[in-house]
Structures are given as C-alpha cells and as structure tokens.
Amino acid sequence: MRIQADHFDMIQIAESGQCFRWSRQEDGSWSIPFRDKCLIAEQKGDNLIFECTEEEFDSYWKKYFDMETDYGMMEKTGLSLKDPFLERALHFGSGIRILRQDFWETLISFLISQNNNIPRIRHSIEKLCDREIFPSPGEILMKDLTDCRLGYREKYLREASKWMIEYENGNQKSELSGIMGVGPKVEACVRLYGLHELNFCPMDTWMKKIVAEDYHEIMPDWMHSKYAGYYQQVCFYYKRMAQAGGKK
DNA sequence: CTGCAGGCCCTTA
DNA sequence: TAAGGGCCTGCA
C-alpha cells in the first residue's frame, strides 16, 4: 500500500538513534522489524510505500509509526518558544518521529547502549535476536550470550530479564530505576521510546554538549516541556549530523 | 599505544 | 551528596 505523509523521513528516523534494528536493503528499501512481524518499506519524497495490506497497516504498523500524533502541532509549539537552536533543529529534522517501539526490546537495547557506540550496539542486538525475532526475558536467561559481546552489561540483561518476568506476572512493585544498570539516561530512553512518554528528555553526552556549546551551560526551557523528548530527539539528530558533516 | 562511545556502580571524603 | 575511578569491547 502507498500513502503520503508529512513529518516522516525514514532515513532521519533510522539515524536518529532511537531504533537499532532498521536495516537498509540494497535497493534502498528498509526492513523494519517490530515484535513478530517485519515490514519492507520504501520512501520517495513524501510518498511512502509499504509492503503490506491496508488492513495490516491500520491494525499494526500505523500505531508503531505513531501516525496518530500531531507532529505539526508539536513543531509549531516548539517554534513558538523562539529558541534559535531548536528552530534550526526542527527544520533540519522535520521527518523525525518517535516510534512506539516494544517496551522490552527498548529496555534491553538501551541497557546495551550505555558507554557504547552505535555499530557495536547494533551488532550486540543482532546477535541477541534469533532470525529477526527479539528474544523474550526467558529466552535471554537461557541463552549463551558470549557472542553478543556485551561485556559488563551481560549481568544487566539477566537482571532485567528477571525483573521483566516478575513484571509480566503482575508484580509491579519494582520501578524501572530499580534494575541494575538502569540509571537516569537509560530510564528516560525507555520511557520515551518504549512507553512514548514524550516529556522524558534523555540527558546524554550529546545533550550535555548542546547545553555547553549552544546554550552556554544554561538548560533551555524546552527540556522541561511536554514534548521535551521529541525536541531532544530532533536536537540530538541535528547536532550529530552537523558534526558528522562538519568534520571530514 | 591512548582515547572514546547516547552511563552506571561503587567507594570515598 | 558530590566527585571520581573502573568497567567490556572494538575501532580510530
């Protein structure tokens, strides 16, 4: 099926650092796994082509791509803050969306992401998966994780798996932050990307860099706003691309 | 060789 | 309660 959409750029979404398993095919299309399905998708301008039926898109992928959220409104709200850096970032990364990813996969992915780099994060996650399917907590506990090259993070994944099994059994007394290896940054990522709590703004090295270099060490107002997570994502992408393009 | 990558844990003062 | 060292690993 084929649709037209604003605020939707597959390259920007794939490179915005929120997801680690989108992969580009030789023909330029994207392979997009989510839970037990995998979608082949392609973009030409604002034309989006999805290899699935309209029913399947409406009942499954539409939510994943967060098609119900009004990005135009969030952009407008951001622009009204009259913040020059945010303004540039919103224009630069206008195709970014906050995907509604699987909570469990997000938790594990961002546990792996700490003190780590993107290629290695992707490699670890790929090794963790069995034929494109992300493992359940029980499967992670059973699995030999040597090939995943997790280093000291391996015990964090096991602790998280035990926590998740308790959580699924209805025992919700423990908080996310109670999991070994989940600090403020990882928790914010899980809440933003895995629970779609758009007010959470992960403070990573890039955000600190932005606050230092672009805001003279003074936290901008938007970091405390309702859509802080979305603005963070856009600024993160803008800053990272500016540096990647700026140095050669 | 050292530094570093979207941090966090643990110890110390 | 704030600061700082150590940590798996791979790549530049």
Render pLDDT for A121-154 as a digit per residue (tens, 0 to 9). 999 999 999 888 999 999 999 999 999 999 999 9
CA distance A186 to A111: 6
Quick check: A158 CB within 7 A of strand C?
Answer: no
Residue A151: which nucleotide is closest by CA–C1'?
Answer: C8
**Distance in angstroms, CA of A117 to C1' of C11?**
10
Taking a C-beta distance cutoff of 8 angstroms, is the pair A192, A198 a contact? yes
Q: What is the pLDDT of residues A79-122, one digit of tens each?
A: 999 999 999 999 999 999 999 999 999 999 999 999 999 999 99
Percent of chain A with pLDDT over 70: 97
Taking a C-beta distance cutoff of 8 angstroms, is the pair A75, A204 a contact? no
Residue A193, pLDDT above cutoff 80: yes
Buried b (16+ CB within 10 A) or exposed e, A155-183: ebbbbbbebbeebeeeeeeeebeebebbe
User: Could you tell me the pTM of the whole model?
Assistant: 0.96
Helix axes A228-246, A71-79, angle to 10 degrees: 80
What local confidence, expressed as pLDDT, does residue A185 receive?
Answer: 96
Split at pLDDT 50, 70, 90, the class of A247 is: very low
